[in-house]
């Protein structure tokens, strides 16, 4: 059973930051929503947000920049059928609320009975996935600068070929309050931190880059000496490996993807195609395919916003719905899509806790949280040993995908040529080209080493960015096209 205490605590925090300082209380929210409901709308909500963020960056041995910002405001939305009217303001006041409410309600005709029926007030259920702390306050400024200096010192000590070190430390304290026309009130207090490490190595005039990092919904104390050294080791290893890399081969071949961050391919090539808006409009390669086989047997894909402390997790989504563990593909069969409230209503299903927005100045839409594939029964070593000739890609860079066709292009930031089950040498410039739906059908071996990424993912969609998580086990995919430089 979910404890109500954390929910009440979050509401109290949200009210103290977003209502009380501006002379507002719940009665003002009800009045604004009733103004909207005087017209015939299907949904209406108010989204208040307070965000305090801080960032520090190190380059050339010194902390060059430090930034601090506070942003707050309210977004007001009315939905009628497929149409949405939206207004937002950084002025949180009764006058602004009522003005926005009267503006957005014009999306629909006035109701015959203009006196809106009073909604029964209720507090939305939620989860307790992370502490409601302010991560900015978990280390003082001196300690933050020293942390970045430690990154610099460790990286340069690893190898004399490391000629440049860049590091960034970011922390954010995000508080949201959602009031819906049905009387629901929900709040969340979301900490978020991230440490990033980038190094440049040089050898015989050749320079290569390696990067690493991580984070999540907790305080800065997470970045212990051991954790910092682990990030530095990964970044240095990637840079030094690429110094010895040969041009990547090209053609159709067996490709083995590493566990963890390579799940970004799953996120981009498959996850976006399972978002409700694309499927409602019929523009996804997965539209109308619920109950059909869309992947090889053994492939089970989830979107799960309920994992403790994860970057993509949420106690409640940005519409006040509790986050969920959603099975999207089970043993190769398509089971469902991820939904926000509007698309769920139009498709005749329930919301899945995936209504997300970048800020109060943006509209919510169906977005992923933590998207990953479950593990199988093969040891990673066995999967690599099964390759006669092919590519092993344990780490990925960026990529692009076309939602309608599912076609993708991804670059491997770390990859190796494999022959007769043995890793031969590192390669550089490998790009993976294919179709998400086809790629899923060509999965022939699934590792028992499923892991999530270290907490670095940010997803972009229609100009909005939100933090996300990805993950997968080691995977063998047959007949994948590799674009190389050889």
Residue 123 has a pLDDT of 86
**210 and 236 Cβ atoms separated by less than 8 Å:** yes
User: Where exactly are the structural domains of the chain?
Assistant: 4-244, 246-483
Residue 406 has a pLDDT of 81
- Specify the length of the chain in residues: 486
Residue 268 has a pLDDT of 85
CA distance 368 to 188: 18
**19 and 97 Cβ atoms separated by less than 8 Å:** no
- Nearest one of 474, 450, 459 to 393, comparing CA atoms: 474
3-state secondary structure labels for all residues of the chain: CCCCHHHHHHHHHHHHHHCHHHCCCHHHHHHHHHHHHCECCCEEEEEEEEEEEEEEEEECCEEEEEEEEEEEEEEEEEEECCEEEEEEECCCCHHHHHHHHHHHHHHCCECCCCCCCCCCCEECCCCCCCCCCCHHHHCCHHHHHHHHHHHHHHHHHHCCCEEEEEEEEEEEEEEEEEEECCCEEEEEEEEEEEEEEEEEEEECCEEEEEEEEEEECCCHHHCCHHHHHHHHHHHHHHHHHHHCCEECCCEEEEEEECCCCCHHHHHHHHHHHHEHHHHHCCCCCCCCCCCCECCCCCCCEEEECCCCCCCCCCCECCCCCECCEEEEEECCEECCCECCHHHHHHHCCCCCCCEECCCCCCCCEECCCEEEECCCCECHHHHHHCCCEEEEEEEEEEEEECCCCCEEEEEEEEEEEEECCEEEEEEECCEEEEEHHHHHHCEEEEECCCEECCCCEEEEECCEEEEEEEEECCEEEEEEEEECCC
Q: Is 251 exposed, middle or buried (0-12, 13-18, 19+ CB in 10 A)?
A: exposed
CA distance 213 to 195: 5
Residue 114 has a pLDDT of 53
Identify the CATH homologous superfamily for domain 4-244.
PmbA/TldD superfamily (3.30.2290.10)
Regions of the chain where pLDDT drops below 50:
1-3
Residue 3 has a pLDDT of 47
Residue 112 has a pLDDT of 59
Q: Model pTM?
A: 0.94
């Amino acid at each position: 059973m979910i404890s109500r205490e954390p929910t009440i605590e979050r509401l109290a925090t949200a009210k103290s930051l977003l209502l009380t300082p501006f002379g507002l209380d719940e009665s003002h929210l009800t009045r604004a929503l009733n103004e909207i409901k005087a017209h015939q709308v299907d949904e209406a909500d108010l989204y208040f947000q307070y965000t305090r963020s801080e960032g520090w960056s190190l380059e050339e041995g010194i902390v060059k920049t430090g930034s601090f910002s506070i942003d707050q405001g309210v977004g007001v939305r009315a939905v009628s059928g497929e149409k949405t009217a939206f207004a937002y303001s950084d002025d949180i006041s009764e006058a602004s609320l009522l003005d926005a409410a009267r503006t957005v309600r014009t999306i629909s005709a006035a109701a015959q009975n203009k006196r809106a029926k009073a909604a029964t007030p209720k507090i939305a259920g939620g989860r307790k996935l992370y502490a409601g702390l302010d991560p900015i306050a978990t280390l003082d400024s001196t300690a933050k600068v020293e942390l970045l200096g430690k990154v610099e010192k460790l990286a340069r000590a690893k190898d004399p070929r490391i000629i440049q070190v860049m590091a960034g430390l970011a922390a954010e304290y995000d508080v949201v309050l959602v009031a819906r026309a049905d009387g629901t009130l929900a709040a969340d207090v979301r900490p978020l931190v991230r440490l990033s490490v980038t190094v440049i190595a040089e050898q015989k005039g050749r320079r290569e880059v390696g990067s690493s990092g991580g984070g999540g919904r907790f305080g800065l104390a997470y970045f212990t000496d051991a954790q910092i050294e682990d990030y530095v080791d990964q970044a240095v290893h990637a840079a030094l490996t690429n110094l010895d890399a040969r041009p990547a081969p090209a053609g159709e071949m067996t490709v083995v993807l590493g566990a963890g961050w390579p799940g970004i391919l799953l996120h981009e090539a498959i996850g976006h195609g399972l978002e409700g808006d694309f499927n409602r409009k019929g523009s996804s390669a997965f539209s109308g395919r619920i109950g059909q086989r869309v992947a090889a047997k053994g492939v089970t894909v989830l979107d799960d916003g309920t994992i403790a402390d994860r970057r993509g997790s949420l106690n409640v989504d940005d519409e006040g719905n509790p986050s969920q563990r959603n099975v999207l593909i089970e043993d190769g069969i398509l089971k469902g899509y991820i939904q926000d409230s509007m698309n769920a209503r139009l498709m005749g299903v329930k919301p899945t806790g995936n209504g997300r927005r970048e800020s109060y100045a943006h509209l919510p839409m169906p977005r992923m949280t933590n998207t990953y594939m479950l593990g199988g029964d093969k040891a990673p070593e066995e999967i690599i040993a099964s390759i006669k000739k092919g590519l092993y890609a344990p780490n990925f860079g960026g990529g692009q995908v076309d939602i309608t066709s599912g076609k993708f292009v991804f670059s491997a930031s770390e990859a190796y040529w494999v022959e007769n089950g043995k890793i031969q040498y590192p390669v550089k410039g490998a790009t993976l080209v294919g179709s998400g739906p086809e790629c899923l059908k060509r999965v022939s071996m699934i590792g028992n080493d499923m892991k999530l990424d270290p907490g670095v993912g940010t997803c972009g969609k229609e100009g909005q960015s939100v933090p996300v998580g990805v993950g997968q086990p080691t995977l063998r995919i047959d007949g994948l096209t590799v674009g190389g430089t050889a």
